[in-house]
């Protein structure tokens, strides 16, 4: 049985946020062939495992998905994923922020295969000590979309925000990326701002700021 990779909107959401693209892009930017890179990535993990994914799903078995934190020893896995998923070369600050965010940055594994990630940055709001979360990137390798991996990664961050009384989560999305916009709207995100010429060497260059606000819980005395 073939895996239907178009089962829902999440299947189509590959690039949902590009962090600080103006700083991250090289002067002579090379747009990567995403599909060939993904294919190469899968071959690196092992063709037999890739085929096993489809056979196990065809047999109706439960998909094993787990999340793991990003540390110095596995940071290269996040870098390889970003290379396969996004037409942007991220600078050192991106990875420093991802490591500093702790549990807010996660790798997603199908069995022992790293297939997706969410990377966040913790920021202090202006005029106060409150913290907000910026989603720098969220992506899943193409053959593994439609399994709820992106949803699980995003829900992990939203659950952390709830537990830590963080009321604001936001990200940037290219204005023509309707699949990503619709994906985030399902989780309560709203378009709160439009920024002209935010991106360099990407058409259109404009982006939306998508924000999700939550009401902070109060502790009864």
Give residue 20's region: left, alpha or beta (phi > 0; psi -120 to 50): left
**Has 39 been annotated as catalytic?**
no
Tokens of residue 72, six digits: 């110095």
CA distance 119 to 104: 7
Any residues with CB less than 8 A from the CB of 172 and at least 6 apart, and which?
17, 18, 19, 195, 198, 207, 208, 209, 210
Known active-site residue 29: no
Q: Which of 94, 95, 134, 198 is catalytic?
A: 134
The position carrying tokens 């037409």 is: 87
Q: Which of 144, 218, 156, 146 is nearest to 187 (CA)?
A: 156
Give CA–CA dist 80/37, Å, rounded.
10
Instruction: Work out the number of other CB atoms within 10 angstroms of the CB of residue 148.
Output: 14
First CA to last CA across the chain, in angstroms? 58
Beta strand 168-174 with 65-69: parallel, antiparallel or unpaired?
unpaired
Catalytic residue among 110, 172, 184, 199: 172
Catalogue the active-site residues.
Answer: 134, 172
């Amino acid at each position: 049985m073939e895996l239907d990779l178009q089962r829902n909107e999440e299947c189509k959401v590959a690039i949902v946020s590009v962090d600080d693209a103006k700083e991250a892009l090289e002067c002579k930017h090379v747009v990567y062939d995403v599909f060939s890179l993904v294919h190469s990535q899968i071959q690196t993990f092992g063709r037999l495992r890739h085929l096993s994914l489809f056979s196990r799903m065809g047999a109706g078995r439960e998909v094993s998905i787990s999340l793991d934190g990003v540390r110095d020893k596995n940071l290269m896995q996040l870098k390889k994923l970003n290379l396969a998923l996004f037409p942007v070369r991220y600078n050192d600050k991106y990875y420093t922020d991802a490591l500093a965010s702790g549990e807010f940055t996660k790798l997603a594994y199908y069995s022992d295969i790293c297939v997706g990630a969410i990377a966040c940055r913790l920021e202090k709001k202006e005029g106060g000590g409150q913290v907000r979360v910026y989603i720098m990137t969220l992506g899943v390798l193409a053959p593994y979309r439609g399994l709820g991996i992106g949803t699980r990664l995003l829900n992990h961050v939203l659950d952390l925000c709830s537990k830590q009384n963080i009321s604001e989560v936001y990200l940037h999305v290219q204005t023509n990326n309707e699949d990503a916009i619709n994906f985030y709207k399902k989780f309560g995100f709203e378009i709160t701002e439009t920024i002209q010429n935010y991106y360099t060497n990407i058409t259109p260059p404009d982006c939306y700021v998508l924000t999700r606000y939550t009401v902070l819980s109060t502790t009864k005395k």
